[in-house]
Structure 1
Amino acid sequence: MGTPTGRTAFDDRIRENEQDVLRYFQRRLLNDADAAEAFGELLLTAWKLRRTMPADPVAARMWLFATSRNVLLNTRRSLARRSVATRRFVDEMRTHPQSVEADDLAIEIRDAIAALPAEDAELVRLVYWDGFRSHEAAAVLGINPSTARSRLSRAKQTLRAVLADELEPTGTRSE
């Protein structure tokens, strides 16, 4: 695997993926400010590690998302160290999302995904929110592609069952 030849190739890979990477952070963090901060941290980290970025655009995309995942983990650790008052505010935002785009279905889906085991939830997000194929998501997560496929299958079954229950019209549930 070669590396990009200089700043132009690096800039091209960033430009090609910047919107997807920013959305990656927006979907996983509670507000746009934290997402923007994480994105800025990614750019700094990617610049420092640019010599290790693969030259192939697809491999470079997976490299950027793997690096984004590491930045996200660091960001979450940093956010966890915030004061108790800030944590209460963050918890309130999780309970009562203020996003205009967050309709009832989106909330149900987000909650159902969040209820999955952490690695399965991240796999679902990478495949269905970020547009990765299962083998690409496996590379980002550092797991075997067959493991990713079986986890994804199991997660989809769980989500179907949970969402079928949640979305069943009122009064028709068998209790």
Structure 2
Amino acid sequence: MSVNQPQEQLLHRLYSHHHGWLLAWLRRKVKQSEQAADLAQDTFLSILNANNVQDILEPRPFLATIARRLVANYHRRQVIEAAYLDALATLPEAQVPSLEERALALELLQQIDHTLNKLPIKARQAFLLAHLEGLSYAEIAVELQVSTSSVKQYLTRANQQCFFSML
């Protein structure tokens, strides 16, 4: 990606003036220096990719907003990874996937989580009840207090979103 000279100068100034503050802010949020440093870099990389550094009027609130989203994603990934590792711990040793297979599965789980979080709450709940709890359409309808045709619509939408996000 090519950044024009004024953009590059503005980004350099933003980075040099606010990186230390952002890093300290992130350390309080994630408690791990290495992860805080990665999230700080990701914050500035996000700004670089958006190519809109000239539009930033209040740098610290702007940086905090981006970083807050990145921290939320980081925590969500941690929860998914912990749940996956807990599930793996229950498998017999012969069935435990390789490190590469685990990494691919975690990436897929995170992609599904990201996709589901874009859905309306009822569609997300229907998907989780069907796929994780194994409930029927009728049972999901009772749980969500909707009709079975609504459940079918929710699941169709959620399944399509997940399928197309993996292409």
TM-score, normalised to structure 2's length? 0.42
More helix by share: 2
| Higher RCO (CA-CA < 8 Å; seq separation 6+) | 1
Tell which structure's C-alpha radius of gyration is larger.
2
TM-score, normalised to structure 1's length? 0.40
